[in-house]
A and B are shown apart, each in its own frame.
Chain A
Amino acid sequence: MASRTVSKDIITLRGSAAIVSEFFGYAANSILYNRGIYPEESFSKVKKYGLTLLLTQDDGVKSFISGLTSQLSEWLEAGKLQRVVLVIMSKATSEVLERWNFNIETDAEVVEKGVIKEKSDKEIMREIQAIMRQIASCITYLPCLDEACVFDVLAYTDKDTTVPMAWVESDAKLINNPQMVKLHSFDTKIHKVDTIVSYKNDEWEDEE
């Protein structure tokens, strides 16, 4: 039996930051579509990670997400970003209903010394694909969002990070006694991203 030679690609800090920030952009779009935050007709299909994903065509949301991903990429290159949280809140009561938590572990050696790592791009894409599939399948277990909702993005950074112009300090927007579901994670050898979704306990489920 012939041995398989797995090809490995060189990954730099900048490349890894680009991969992670791009992933977050697509993940945010997927969450907004699947949770019905914006109407379905405002999304268009694109091919990415070997899947058909949906991207919003709303100019405001587009510009918001593009600005967000560019800032996240900067923080990732500086090794300052610890976590990114996409929060879904009720429009009427501003109550936090869901928290999509993307925890990021950065290899400090790469940030300090600029070491290069190797990993197959296909492997990374496969891991991201698994996460995207899980996000798409989340509607089977997450409670229905019957009311109008809005979203917001929180970034957990190091204490010494300078606050950019379009960002302000905020509270953590926590949920009391949430239910949590851990999704898959992906690793670029420089950044490791773990995904956890926590949601408010549905009253109907509590009664059951």
Chain B
Amino acid sequence: MIFMPKKLEPFPFLSFCKEPNASKRQGGKREMQFLTPPSRKRRAEAEAEAGTSAGTSGAAASPVSDRRIVLYEQREAVPFQVPRASFGPSDQLMCTYHCRQMVKSEFFVALDTAEKENAEYKARLAALNEQLYKIEEEREKYRDEASFLQQELAASKARENSLQERFLKEVDNSEERYRDQLRRISELEFEIKKEMDSRVAAEQFTETLKETVRELQTKLESLSDSSDREINSLRRELSYVQDESKFSSSKVTAELERTTLRAESAEEEAELLNEQLIGLKEQLDECLTQKGEIEHNHSSSNISPSNGSSDDDKKMIKLLQEELHNYEKEVQEARKLKSSQLNSELLKEKLLEEQSRRERAELELSKLHELQVKAQKLELELTSWKSLLNDIPDIGSYSDIPKKFAELQKEALENMAKLGEITAQLKEIKVAMEYADLSKQRAETECMLAKEKVESSSLEVKRLQLMLASVTEERDRLRKDSSASNKDAGPSDDSRVEELEAALNDKEQMMKEMESSLQEHREMIAHQHAELKLFNDRLTDESKKVKSLERESDRLRHEVALLESKLGHGDYSSSNTKVLRMVNTLAVENEAKQTIEALQAELKRTTERLQAVEELKGQFDAALPEKLIQLKNQIAVLEKREERYKAVFAEKISVFRKACCSLFGYKIVMDDQKRPNGIPVTRFTLQSIYAQSDDEKLEFEYESGSMNIVMNDYTSQTDIAHQIEIFIRKMNSIPAFTANLTVECFNRRTLC
């Protein structure tokens, strides 16, 4: 029997070359080697092994028994490559038993190596599966992280939206406040303009008022001059009137004395006359009775003796008639005295009126003095107020000063209120600013965190991409390996590969989606950065505003400090404030108690007096009217007597004065005065009848028995002073002085 060698199928393996480092061949290239193809048996065994091997990649091909020399090219060690199973029978290959054994051994070796490689591939596959599992886990992790990032992004978006809304609100609020402040500023400016206008108007008004004040001052001066002149004239008139009144009073008193003396004398005479009258009447009655008797006797006797008695009677009658006539004259004189008395009473009344006029004039003089003092004070106040006006520019007139004070205090109070409001707003703005800063810091930190997360996620994405790239490269290699050993692999490997490819594709899509989301997030972050920049700009503006407001607040604080100092000092506006004090009830109560006790004691006394009076009244009720009438009559009689005495005395004293004047050559006027220390002094004013002017008067003071000369303008003349020195000082003789003066005046008069 002759056995013909069969054609050997080409080996599906590449590992016949007995490379020691087959496990390290992944990714490496093999050198081309020429090997004898394995026998068919080997190929069949390899195919069987490939069929038995489950889920593995490298299905070992049956050893080729057709003994064809086949070129084995190098292949890359790809674990998922399926060995080719496209061995066909080769009728052309020839083999001997020895060759078969060799081939078998080689086949076994190749099988071992293939198995090893298979194991390696399996290990690699397991490792790859593990890696895939890890990658899937990591993918899930990344998915979770991505979802977490998305949630965080959504949360940060929401926070940013809320922050934006807050910022917008704060910006709106700050804008509104800014607008309000602008409005207030415009209002204040308007008010300032108004005040400036009012100030200008007030200045103009002050100028007009100054002019009026000047005019009033000139008028005042003129009025004061005229008033001074009038005062002087009034004083002169008053002095004249006083002198005249003194003269008249002295005259009246003299006349009064005269009339009283006359009245007394007339009364005495009247009494005497009455007595005489009574006596005469008695005599007359006696005479008449005698006459009757005589007539009776005569009728009975002769006529001749009746002539003698009728002559006597006639003489008596004449005497009586003369006496009657005298009495009538005296009665007429008494009537004249009465009329003079009435005149003296009229003169007294006139004197009283003139005295009252004098008193009024003195009062008015005193009032004038007071008015002058007041005018001086007012002038001083005017000058001080004028100086104040000059110092204070905003005041128009004097009456505007309290109004201005009130306005200033009102403005101060309003400024304080505004200051309070502004401080409150400042505080609110500060709080808002702090809150905005805090939120900004938070947003920045969140943005930083988000950035970091985004960067980390981008880094992870890059890493994943790199891993993906590496995985795709390995896949490609494995694909290539699988395509090279495609025949050995079964349909399950293809499905597995397809599944893996689908998973990879899904992962790639996920990565793309993540990248797109990352880009969106980056855009959002850029947008937020831009908004943050805007907010920063706004914050800087707000900070500038805050600084300006702080400056205003400092200024207002300074004003507040000034106002507080005024408050502490106790200043207030009298137009809308009044100061009340509680009366010290302790002292008041004591005083009230004391007054009450005193009043009660007085009440008791008055009640006792009333009771006594009533008792007395009860006793004297019956006799009162008669007593009253008697007393009134007595009073009337005494008053009449007093008047008569006064009239008589005035008459007598005037006579005496006239006598003295005519005898000694001086008109003497007596005047009682009181010195400031209360000592009464009698002043005598002497005017010579030979005096050439009214100013030539001598004045003497009589005090407690001593007569002293008072120096005046007349006596201070050299001649008079010389005489006074000689006669009064040296010789102590006033009569000699007056006599000498009289002689000199007489000589002057007669010579002139």
Residues of A within 8 A of B (CB): 60-61, 63-64, 67-68, 71, 82-83, 85, 99, 101, 103, 152-159, 161, 163, 166-175, 178, 180, 182, 194, 196-198
| B545-587 with Cβ < 8 A to chain A | 564-565, 567-572, 575-586
Residues of B within 8 A of A172 (CB): 570-572, 579
Q: How far is the CB of A63 from chain B (nearest CB, A)?
A: 7
B565 and chain A: residue at smallest CB distance: A180
Given contacts A166-B583, A172-B572, contact A157 B567 (CB under 8 A): no
Task: Categorize the interface residue count of chain B.
Answer: 20 to 34
Residues of A within 8 A of B584 (CB): 64, 152
Report whether B581 and A101 are in contact in the complex, using a CB–CB cutoff of 8 Å.
no
Q: Quick one: which of B565, B568, B569, B572 has the most chain A CB within 10 A?
A: B568
Which residue in A83, A154, A174 is a CB contact (below 8 Å) of B581? A154
Q: How far is the CB of B226 from chain A (nearest CB, A)?
A: 40
Residues of A within 8 A of B568 (CB): 99, 101, 178, 180, 182, 196-198
Q: How far is the CB of B577 from chain A (nearest CB, A)?
A: 5
Report whether A68 and B582 are in contact in the complex, using a CB–CB cutoff of 8 Å.
yes
Which residue in A71, A171, A196 is a CB contact (below 8 Å) of B567? A196
Given contacts A85-B570, A180-B569, contact A154 B586 (CB under 8 A): no
Residues of B within 8 A of A (CB): 564-565, 567-572, 575-586
Report whether B585 and A156 are in contact in the complex, using a CB–CB cutoff of 8 Å.
no
A170 and chain B: residue at smallest CB distance: B581
Report 20 cross-chain contacts, Cβ distance below 8 Å, ordered by A residue.
A61-B586, A64-B585, A67-B582, A82-B572, A82-B577, A101-B567, A154-B580, A154-B581, A156-B578, A163-B580, A166-B582, A167-B582, A168-B581, A170-B580, A174-B570, A182-B568, A194-B564, A196-B564, A196-B568, A198-B568
For the complex, give the distance between the alpha carbons of A167 and B584 in Å. Answer: 9
Q: How far is the CB of A131 from chain B (nearest CB, A)?
A: 15
Q: How far is the CB of B501 from chain A (nearest CB, A)?
A: 55
B586 and chain A: residue at smallest CB distance: A60
Report whether B585 and A182 are in contact in the complex, using a CB–CB cutoff of 8 Å.
no
For the complex, give the distance between the alpha carbons of A175 and B565 in Å. Answer: 12
For the complex, give the distance between the alpha carbons of A103 and B560 in Å. Answer: 14
Q: How far is the CB of A68 from chain B (nearest CB, A)?
A: 6
Report whether A169 and B569 are in contact in the complex, using a CB–CB cutoff of 8 Å.
no
Report whether A156 and B579 are in contact in the complex, using a CB–CB cutoff of 8 Å.
yes
For the complex, give the distance between the alpha carbons of A43 and B268 in Å. Answer: 92
For the complex, give the distance between the alpha carbons of A156 and B580 in Å. Answer: 6
Q: How far is the CB of A24 from chain B (nearest CB, A)?
A: 13
Residues of B within 8 A of A198 (CB): 568-570
Report whether A158 and B577 are in contact in the complex, using a CB–CB cutoff of 8 Å.
yes
For the complex, give the distance between the alpha carbons of A158 and B572 in Å. Answer: 11
Residues of A within 8 A of B575 (CB): 159
Residues of B within 8 A of A153 (CB): 581-582
Residues of A within 8 A of B565 (CB): 180
For the complex, give the distance between the alpha carbons of A99 and B571 in Å. Answer: 12
Report whether A159 and B576 are in contact in the complex, using a CB–CB cutoff of 8 Å.
yes
Q: How far is the CB of A200 from chain B (nearest CB, A)?
A: 12
For the complex, give the distance between the alpha carbons of A83 and B571 in Å. Answer: 11
Report whether B578 and A166 are in contact in the complex, using a CB–CB cutoff of 8 Å.
no
Residues of B within 8 A of A103 (CB): 567
Report whether A170 and B586 are in contact in the complex, using a CB–CB cutoff of 8 Å.
no
For the complex, give the distance between the alpha carbons of A64 and B582 in Å. Answer: 9
Report whether A170 and B579 are in contact in the complex, using a CB–CB cutoff of 8 Å.
yes
Which residue in A63, A156, A167 is a CB contact (below 8 Å) of B583? A167
Counting from the closest, the 4 A-B pairs by CB-CB distance are A170-B581, A196-B568, A180-B568, A60-B586
Residues of B within 8 A of A158 (CB): 576-578
For the complex, give the distance between the alpha carbons of A37 and B675 in Å. Answer: 52
List 8 additional A-B contacts (Cβ < 8 Å) besides A64-B582, A156-B579.
A60-B585, A101-B570, A157-B577, A166-B582, A166-B583, A169-B580, A169-B581, A196-B564
Q: How far is the CB of A11 from chain B (nearest CB, A)?
A: 19
For the complex, give the distance between the alpha carbons of A171 and B578 in Å. Answer: 9
Given contacts A82-B577, A180-B565, contact A168 B570 (CB under 8 A): no
Residues of A within 8 A of B564 (CB): 180, 182, 194, 196
Given contacts A174-B569, A178-B569, contact A64 B580 (CB under 8 A): no
Residues of B within 8 A of A167 (CB): 580-583
Residues of B within 8 A of A63 (CB): 585
For the complex, give the distance between the alpha carbons of A68 and B584 in Å. Answer: 11
A163 and chain B: residue at smallest CB distance: B580
Residues of A within 8 A of B578 (CB): 156-159, 161, 169
Which residue in A60, A159, A163, A171 is a CB contact (below 8 Å) of B577? A159
Q: How far is the CB of A168 from chain B (nearest CB, A)?
A: 6
For the complex, give the distance between the alpha carbons of A60 and B569 in Å. Answer: 29
Residues of A within 8 A of B571 (CB): 172, 174
A164 and chain B: residue at smallest CB distance: B580
For the complex, give the distance between the alpha carbons of A101 and B579 in Å. Answer: 13
Residues of B within 8 A of A67 (CB): 582, 585
Q: How far is the CB of B409 from chain A (nearest CB, A)?
A: 11
For the complex, give the distance between the alpha carbons of A178 and B607 in Å. Answer: 58
For the complex, give the distance between the alpha carbons of A155 and B582 in Å. Answer: 8
A99 and chain B: residue at smallest CB distance: B570
Q: Quick one: which of B567, B571, B582, B584 has the most chain A CB within 10 A?
A: B582
A165 and chain B: residue at smallest CB distance: B583
Q: How far is the CB of A151 from chain B (nearest CB, A)?
A: 10
For the complex, give the distance between the alpha carbons of A157 and B580 in Å. Answer: 7
